[in-house]
Chain A
């Protein structure tokens, strides 16, 4: 059974820091991996999608990497801002068209 773990559960940093959020999964035979952002009381916003054949994806200040063999993904946020404060969720799909399996998230707080 696929399990997804995110470490740390919470993270507080001052504005301007570069930071890394970690995601690990137990079964390396994934179809894709997706990072989401969730603001308090809101829905999920997709940040980056990495296909199993890819090693990384970039969008603005965000960079996500994927190492299938070790069952790990990282989300790198450059020059963090208070507006980055949110919960970040990692999720994997084992096969095309199957449901995402989520980690419990990392709650990020960026102070000004």
Chain B
């Protein structure tokens, strides 16, 4: 049981380049989330998807787009990377009404924009 898998684990981009961060979960969870973590700022929500076919903005959505490809996969796209997007990105998933396991996080993608 892999849980939440994120790819890639590390990435260096030049300013203006684009890339997509991939996330997949195998727990049949219906809700998925993208967070970024920055020193002194904690984890902040970028986008989330409460169910397949729906997406909503979180606290810091500017500069990002998301796609809920199917129930398993939720991708995050940077169309034109900026140095301010240097961060660690975490994907998470949960199932509505889950009273036991709560939220499960991936191991993160460390992105540097130069």
Contact = CB atoms under 8 A, between A and B. Distances in A.
Interface string B30-71: 110101000011111100101000000010000000000000
B105 A43 contact: yes
A43 B90 contact: yes
B41 to A, nearest CB: 7
A91 B42 CA distance: 11
Contacts of A97: 30-31, 50, 94-97
Interface string A82-110: 00000001010100111111111100000
A34 B101 CA distance: 10
Interface of B: 30-31, 33, 35, 40-45, 48, 50, 58, 90, 92, 94-97, 99-108
A88 to B, nearest CB: 12
Contacts, number: 59
Contacts of B94: 97
Contact of B106 (A43, A101, A105): A43
Interface residues of A, number: 22
Interface of A: 32, 34, 36, 42-44, 46, 49, 51, 89, 91, 93, 96-105
B103 A102 contact: no
Contact of B43 (A34, A42, A46, A89): A89
Contacts of A103: 42
Contact of A42 (B40, B45, B104, B107): B107
Nearest to B104: A46
B102 A34 contact: yes
A102 B104 contact: no
A99 B33 contact: yes
A102 B43 contact: yes
A49 B105 contact: no
A46 B102 contact: yes
A44 B95 CA distance: 18
